[in-house]
């Protein structure tokens, strides 16, 4: 009979991808992880993984053991949660993933308020602009902006979010604002590299008319704050989510360009695995987020009427 901590230990190292990452998550040394894995293999009488200093690959027996252990632990966790639910307690650990900018500005404060309601709950928040489909399985939920790259995830609506083309007044003094999307081809443009998208191809629609424009990227970055700083400095036009620029538009630090044209929306959604139902703590957190951001998210509540009435924007 194996200790439950050994089973959770094995699941952790299989999710980590390397012994070094597993050691970081477990807050022990890599040698301690390696030694514990050897002891587990000795008790089982079989090799579970081929490992090197940088990574390890599960053997066929290791894959079977991992899948069986994950199923057992899942059943056990659901049993414990059902028992806690009967007493009205919300406990356990809620693993949430999110993007850096939105996560810092809106998701982290929401989690703090949710935790205040459920102090017995532990919440682990991981912020990254490069979460992969492979990593998604270790989260109860990922708060995501924009279209789905991985169709195996189920999307639950959290908040409406458009994207706008913006520029600083300093840039528009130097270069008159375009009146048609095709004029963007001769403007200085700043682009955000993300999600392996074709970031220099900007798509617009107006009623039944659709236009795609290849813009010249004089500056590009994978960091949204950097892109916004360049735009505020008057370096060029850029596309950014309304959650990130609504306050700057309201104060006049940025000006919306081509407001009559729309770009693809990038609503805020909560992604969860399609395998099985969400835990009660995840379901409660989703309901909390939806109540907090719907029907009008905070980036729309405090805008003057003219700021809200300039038509839909786009995504990012």
Residue 240 lies in a domain: yes
pLDDT for the residue 153:
80
Q: pLDDT tens digits, residue range 196-219?
A: 778 899 999 998 899 999 999 999
Tokens 């009660």 map to which residue? Answer: 280
Separation CA 226–CA 25 (nearest Å): 30
Q: For residue 61, what are the contacts with CB-CB under 8 A and spacing of at least 6? A: 44, 46, 47, 48
Both 149 and 279 in one domain: the answer is yes
pLDDT for the residue 280:
83
pLDDT in tens, the chain (316 residues): 467 888 888 888 888 777 888 888 888 888 888 888 888 888 888 988 887 656 678 888 888 988 888 888 877 877 776 666 666 667 788 999 999 999 999 999 999 999 999 998 999 999 987 765 556 677 889 999 987 666 678 899 999 999 999 999 999 999 999 999 999 999 999 999 876 778 899 999 998 899 999 999 999 999 999 999 999 999 999 999 999 999 999 999 999 999 999 999 999 999 988 766 688 889 999 999 999 999 899 999 755 444 333 333 333 4
Q: By C-alpha distance, which of 101, 147, 165, 150 is closest to 267?
A: 147
Helix (H) or strand (E) holding 84: helix 60-86
Average pLDDT, the chain: 85
Helix (H) or strand (E) holding 133: none
Both 234 and 271 in one domain: the answer is no
Helix (H, G, I), strand (E, B) or coil at 203: strand
Both 167 and 293 in one domain: the answer is no
CA angle (223, 224, 230) in 5-degree steps? 95
pLDDT for the residue 132:
59
This prediction's pTM? 0.70
> Which two three-digit tokens encode residue 53?
């200093």
Residue 136, beta-bridge partner list = none
Both 39 and 154 in one domain: the answer is no
pLDDT for the residue 87:
60
Residue 310 lies in a domain: no
Residue 269, beta-bridge partner list = 144, 157
Residue-range definition of the domain harbouring residue 71: 4-84
Both 147 and 283 in one domain: the answer is yes
Indicate the pairing of strand 92-98 with strand 217-221: unpaired
pLDDT for the residue 315:
33
Number of domains making up the chain: 3
pLDDT for the residue 43:
87
Q: For residue 259, what are the contacts with CB-CB under 8 A and spacing of at least 6? A: 164, 310, 311, 313
Separation CA 195–CA 56 (nearest Å): 27
Indicate the pairing of strand 189-192 with strand 237-241: parallel
pLDDT for the residue 239:
96
Both 152 and 271 in one domain: the answer is yes
Q: Are 98 and 142 in contact (CB under 8 A)?
A: yes
Residue 41 lies in a domain: yes
Both 213 and 275 in one domain: the answer is no
Q: Are 73 and 86 in contact (CB under 8 A)?
A: no
């Amino acid at each position: 009979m194996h200790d439950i901590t050994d089973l959770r230990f094995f699941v952790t190292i299989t999710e980590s991808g390397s012994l070094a990452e597993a050691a970081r998550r477990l807050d022990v040394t890599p040698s301690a992880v390696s030694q514990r894995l050897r002891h587990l293999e000795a008790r089982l009488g079989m090799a579970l993984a081929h490992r090197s200093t940088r990574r390890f690959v599960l053997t066929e027996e290791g894959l079977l053991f991992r899948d069986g252990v994950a199923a057992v632990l899942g059943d056990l966790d659901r049993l414990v949660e059902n028992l806690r639910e009967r007493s009205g307690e919300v406990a356990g650990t809620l693993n949430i993933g999110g993007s850096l900018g939105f996560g810092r500005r809106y998701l982290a404060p929401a989690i703090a308020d949710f935790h205040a309601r459920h102090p017995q709950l532990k919440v682990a928040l991981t912020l990254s602009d490069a979460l992969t489909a492979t990593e998604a399985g270790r989260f109860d939920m990922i708060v995501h902006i924009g279209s789905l790259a991985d169709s195996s995830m189920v999307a639950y609506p959290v908040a409406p979010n458009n994207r706008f083309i913006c520029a600083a007044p300093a840039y528009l003094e130097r270069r008159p604002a375009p009146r048609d999307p095709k004029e963007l081809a001769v403007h200085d443009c700043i682009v955000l590299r993300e999600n392996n998208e074709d970031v220099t191809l900007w798509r617009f629609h107006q009623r039944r008319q659709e236009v795609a424009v290849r813009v010249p990227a004089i500056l590009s970055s994978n960091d949204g704050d950097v892109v916004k700083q360049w735009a505020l400095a008057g370096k060029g036009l850029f596309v950014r989510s309304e959650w990130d620029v609504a306050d700057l538009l309201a104060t006049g630090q940025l000006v919306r360009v081509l407001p009559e044209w729309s770009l693809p929306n990038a609503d805020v959604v909560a992604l969860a695995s399609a395998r099985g139902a969400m835990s009660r703590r995840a379901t409660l957190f989703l309901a909390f987020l939806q109540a907090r951001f719907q029907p009008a998210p905070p980036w729309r509540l405090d805008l003057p009427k003219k700021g809200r009435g300039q038509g839909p924007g786009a995504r990012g």
